Amino acid sequence: MVSLEKKKGPRNFIEIGRIVFITFGPSNGKIGLIVDILDKNRCMIDGPPGRQVINLKRIKPTQIKLKIGRSLNSKSVHLALKTQDIIEKWEKSLWCKKKKTVQKKQSFSDYSKFKFMLGKKASHRILKAF
């Protein structure tokens, strides 16, 4: 018999207190905290890049969420980020680790890429021998 139940995945809604990853603009690659939702297209975020109004198309919500009130001042937001170790949680997340490895690979010179490719080939030969 086939099960018709829907599998529930992680729900990362745009909501106050959600940590988001900024994907466009001068703060690209940084994280912020949603402090207020202005309308269906924009929200106000605060955090390490500073307080700013940003379009929802330019952010990606993470699974990390804080329980905060609406429209907190910057001082309270930075205090909440420090006391709840949000930056450390982000650094330990798989998403952040993947971003760092991609950035590291992009910073390789041609010779470094060549050495990396040779190392991968050698390891694959060893694995293939078994």
Question: How far is the C-alpha of 116 from the C-alpha of 93, rounded, in Å?
Answer: 25
**pLDDT for res 130:** 81
Question: How far is the C-alpha of 68 from the C-alpha of 100, rounded, in Å?
Answer: 29
Query: Where are the domains positioned within the chain?
Result: 18-129
Q: Answer yes or no: is pLDDT of 10 > 90.
A: no
pTM (predicted TM-score)? 0.76
Any idea which residue has 């680790």 for tokens? 97
Q: What is the pLDDT of residues 62-121, one digit of tens each?
A: 999 999 888 889 999 999 889 999 999 999 999 999 999 999 989 999 999 999 999 999
Architecture label for domain 18-129? Roll (2.30)
**pLDDT for res 70:** 87
